[in-house]
Structure 1
């Protein structure tokens, strides 16, 4: 698929999404359109898989008669294999194309069949059946309540059942006309389009966008940092995974990722993350995403990860309970992050999970670089006692949706190849402004990554500091202490300024004389 075709698909999907836009806010119509796209994906994948199984028998999946004994036997055999391979099952009558067709078929008014195209109840049942088909299987947790945000009874879809049905049928009909290209396993056309839509929804969601989406450019920087020197990863983890886009971005930077792990507090966003994983072709056995509070109830305490990426909520509140002082994640530090700024609590949590050969890159507000108290104590322990900090990278302001605060990326390694230094990079001026938002572009990203990997000092941009220098700064990591960005102003020639003022004064006197002459001719007093 060409770039133009890809953009055309993205625009088609966005236009369909806007069919719902007038009825509800961005959060709500996001859940509906992404849910329907996911249902269509599951249906097409099921149909392709079943057709492949049935090829030797010379029949297609949609041709199976579900009510006959032979048909039921064939479906039972296919279901058994599909649950192992795909993790779910759909009957031919439950496929997206079939429900879309029924929802838009002509009504036979002569027979009084006024409800022949009413599909809401069938659609709700089908979505429930997808979840139910996984009960008792290895994929049960990955499909449990996956469609719970698609409330087909909501009055926001319409005031009457007929209005709701008409709107949903219209959306399904538009989606049914689009070819997702799933038969071409070499291309991730739909995955790219899905990411595009998530980004579009985030751009219009304001402050809430931070709950589920990290801008693609920032994700790319994080992904490239943690894959430095690696072509394969055994595991990648995101402690606040949102929609899962950051985990998937890491996978694009290497040949293979064996397993994906994540945790997300928000239930709706957790559902979106699971959909995103499945839709990108990540097998249900390859990902383990949990829904719970990462700091208070961690889900993967027994695991270490080769790559860790995260964009935690900035300066979030947490319990800071004294009980955490006996928690392996925090006990060795002797201090807990403040209750009203959990930034270091997230960092400590992830450092605990970092494998000895791993790399961790986390976004944090600039306050973590210099704030005092418990945070200064934790910062010093990480740098002086453990020597885990490998780099500090300052990002441009206003690159995250819903907040304009400046941020930094902190890179950690438990086994540093260069144990005597920390790289400081000031990338705050490398961006392109589009409207009210700042964006990192490919040259900006490439410069950040090459500077980090080559560990080079560049005037006004980067500095490779010794640990002794950091200690001399009392472990304050504020970037201007290491990267001198001061721009000397051009010297002013006072004599030239004086001469210019004198010339202006002479010119003013000439103009005053001309005005005085005009005033005399008019017989009026001069204004000076």
Structure 2
């Protein structure tokens, strides 16, 4: 375990340092596409060389010797066809020997590298299988941000490739590479600021949500998890960490932003998720429902949608089965409940859903109030967890996790005020493992805890007009210690005495200071100020 942690940390540092080549040329939201794309290309390329050498029954000392073996075998027409078929069967893609990452690095060292070769390698991967279609389309190798002419663009990409070339991305065990990749995404999110909300959920929040929805189902085979606003896939991938049957998990996700969608696909593959277990789609979750063919409901639904986003909200959505039950639709200016209802619609009767949203959804009125009331009357809302402020990259406001279930035996709602469960950081607050465990233990116990949690009955919630604002249910007020007036009076007397003593000492020193004729107007004024 310690070796894995050390290997991951070493890889994380090396990969992050590779960003130095690009950092001065563009902001993090742009250069992440180049660095993450090139790392992924190296991974696919090195994986191909490793598989080729296995088929050839060779044991190369390093990736460059593996490259030499591959070149030699590929040039042998007697075995070329069988080698290509074997690679396609195992990997579903192929790269010619002169287009592998190792071959391109050799060209860089020989001052023979051309961007056209890398572009061709990207194209060959994308054409090899529908699983790889469009993966590299966001990487503009000829962007003027890389350099003002072709030679400078060529040099910039070459410098990045040389930086990551020595890294062993194949022999790392477990999820080491995937976790390092996830770390990079988090670092990019930190540098990107508000734009980070498009692609990343901080890991402490992701861990908390996943453990809540997977509780009691760690041994379930074929567990299905769905995120209709998946970003880079970080929420989905946490299922692997807490399931005892990770190879059987089926991942369903949708993402509107094409660049982020491709990032999620790469992230899945780098975490070792087989393409047969991924069901990912590039599309608009609210405008068009998906999935509409079996399976349509899932064991777990996880969401961190854009907060209070605008959406179409046409009257026709009242006929949409996702929203029709509630009689109204979420307002155009705030799609929060539209996202929530979409996710809830796709939840199995035995499933659990967790969604992060701003606190406004707990108490806002009008259409949102009607939707919230209907959900409460259905017993859909199980738990409300108030999170600390400033733990997300895209907003400093406090947020809430709402946990929903179907077919509950009661309509109680459990409230947890975790707003103080954090460690303050310079730019970003964070939640430690101890904070997460405290919240989870409280959630699983479902019992009142003074100044932390309260199990509210449906009658109590109805008396509050279906307002779920957490302070109405969890009193975190800390009374100030009573003031000891006698002590305050004595402190004032002590201060007066100290002031008198200081004045007397000053007067003694002043009396020793006289002018040559024994008179000094300034000294007289000073004595008057002292009250003498």
TM-score normalised by the chain length of structure 2: 0.90
Partner of 1:334: 327
Partner of 1:445: 436
Alignment of structure 1 residues 197-346 onto 2, 5 Å: 197-231=184-218, 232=220, 233-255=222-244, 256=246, 257-302=248-293, 303-346=296-339
Distance 2:21 2:84 in 1: 38
Q: CA deviation at 1:52?
A: 3.0
Is 1:155–2:144 an aligned residue pair?
A: yes
Cα contact 1:87–1:284 (8 A) shared by 2: no
Distance 2:401 2:92 in 1: 37
Distance 1:351 1:336 in 2: 14
Distance 1:76 1:516 in 2: 101
Larger Rg: 2
Alignment of structure 1 residues 100-249 onto 2, 5 Å: 100-105=105-110, 107=111, 117-134=112-129, 140=130, 142-180=131-169, 182-183=170-171, 186-231=173-218, 232=220, 233-249=222-238
Partner of 2:374: 381
Distance 1:244 1:396 in 2: 23
Partner of 1:113: none
User: What do the CA deviations read for 1:23-60 (whole angstroms, capped 9, x no partner)?
Assistant: 22112211111001100111122222333334399997
> Secondary structure, in 3 states, of the residue corresponding to 2:299?
strand
Partner of 1:368: 361
Q: CA deviation at 1:506?
A: 4.7
Partner of 2:99: 94
Q: CA deviation at 1:210?
A: 0.8
TM-score normalised by the chain length of structure 1: 0.90
Q: CA deviation at 1:440?
A: 0.2
> Secondary structure, in 3 states, of the residue corresponding to 2:441?
helix
Distance 1:80 1:460 in 2: 60
Distance 1:360 1:49 in 2: 40
Gaps of 5+ in 2: 515-519
Distance 2:479 2:364 in 1: 29
User: What do the CA deviations read for 1:333-378 (whole angstroms, capped 9, x no partner)?
Assistant: 0011111111111000000000111110010101011111111111
Distance 1:19 1:183 in 2: 26
Distance 2:74 2:101 in 1: 16
Is 1:405–2:397 an aligned residue pair?
A: yes
Distance 1:383 1:65 in 2: 66
Q: CA deviation at 1:76?
A: 4.3
Distance 2:463 2:392 in 1: 33
Q: 2:475 aligns with which of 469, 480, 484?
A: 484
Is 1:55–2:57 an aligned residue pair?
A: yes
Q: CA deviation at 1:517?
A: 6.1
> Secondary structure, in 3 states, of the residue corresponding to 1:306?
strand
Q: CA deviation at 1:2?
A: 4.1
Q: 1:436 aligns with which of 383, 408, 427?
A: 427
Q: 1:35 aligns with which of 34, 37, 57?
A: 37
Equivalent pairs, count: 505
Cα contact 1:361–1:412 (8 A) shared by 2: yes
Distance 1:214 1:149 in 2: 22
Q: CA deviation at 1:423?
A: 1.3
Distance 1:34 1:179 in 2: 15
Cα contact 1:362–1:410 (8 A) shared by 2: yes
Distance 1:170 1:502 in 2: 73
Cα contact 2:8–2:177 (8 A) shared by 1: no
**Root-mean-square deviation (CA), in Å?**
2.3
Cα contact 1:394–1:407 (8 A) shared by 2: yes
Partner of 1:111: none
Distance 1:57 1:374 in 2: 66
Distance 1:331 1:480 in 2: 31
Q: CA deviation at 1:64?
A: 4.5
> Secondary structure, in 3 states, of the residue corresponding to 2:81?
helix
Q: CA deviation at 1:80?
A: 4.3
Partner of 2:406: 414
Cα contact 1:75–1:91 (8 A) shared by 2: no
Distance 1:17 1:414 in 2: 46
Distance 1:71 1:322 in 2: 64
Q: 2:457 aligns with which of 466, 486, 498?
A: 466
Does the C-alpha gap of structure 1 residues 314 and 153 become closer, same or farther in structure 2, counting only changes over 3 Å?
same
Gaps of 5+ in 1: 108-116, 135-139
User: What do the CA deviations read for 1:214-251 (whole angstroms, capped 9, x no partner)?
Assistant: 00111111111110111135210111100011110122
Partner of 2:387: 395
> Secondary structure, in 3 states, of the residue corresponding to 2:365?
coil
Q: CA deviation at 1:79?
A: 4.8
